Structure 1
Amino acid sequence: MTTPSDFDSDLAGGGTPATTPDPETGAEGDTDQLQQDDTLLDRGVDNVLDEGYSPPEHPTNRPRLETHLDQELGERMDDKLAAEEPEVWETDPGPDAGARELDRAGRLAAADPDADGLPSADTMAVDVGIAGGAASAEEAAVHVIDDLAAPDEPDD
């Protein structure tokens, strides 16, 4: 059984092992971020720190029946149905890992300058790839469209 004095001795030494400074590196203990070459997953980014994080849309570690009254009344049928997951054959296959909407642009960069080295007078940008899920709202709103044919000149 652990006693409060056990915790005090851990804190007196500088904290928990994950936050204790490593005397060899001078950094905190838990600094092991595996690079792309060291993992078996290919997520489409060169640097793993470029990958964004999307939190779940609902709390997952919350007890289902929180109060005593909820426990006495039991779970409502609506809640049970909402918690059900569809059968495998009833779901549509999702996009491949790293896939995105075909018409959505990724990170936008300025187009190449003209032959004289000055930026182009046109407002143009090129899609340079995914941003690891960290696109701003403005970037997420940009979609790629095909070049439109020039409208017919009015006959005068």
Structure 2
Amino acid sequence: MSDNTMGDEVYQPPSSDPQDNPNDLDMEDALDEPGLDQTLDTGYSPPERPFVVNHDGTTARELHDRESLEHRLSVEVPEVCAPDGDGIGDLPDGVGEPTDLECGEERAGRLVGSDEGFWRGGSNDISARDVGIDGGAASAEEAAVHIARDDAGDGGGEV
């Protein structure tokens, strides 16, 4: 089969000049390279205030004499930042994770369904009872459950 024959009469675009590649980006589409388009002038926005007018080294004599190291260090200003916390709740002198005011601090322990842990279907109501903390370590889900007291007065106690 020669190079000039077309296969199965499927449309194939004619071969184009390698200089005219349609996949190349236009200069107006090249956003990350401002130097590629030479037809546009880049603007200059001057600073809102002069930065070094009141500092040493702005005149030719000051540049020639140069500043001493002691003078350079005396004008340095340390960075002011918040004190580091202890990494848990990021509160300085904080103990443990911050507690939720709506949640109680007493852990619930293991929760077992009221019907001995087997769901028999029929109702979407889920109820459980606290059977105390297991002898082993609690899972993350069990450790997250806390007992909340009902302070509104309309209920009878625990929620």
Q: Could you state the TM-score of these two structures normalised by the residue count of structure 2? A: 0.23
Larger Rg belongs to: 2
TM-score by length of 1: 0.24
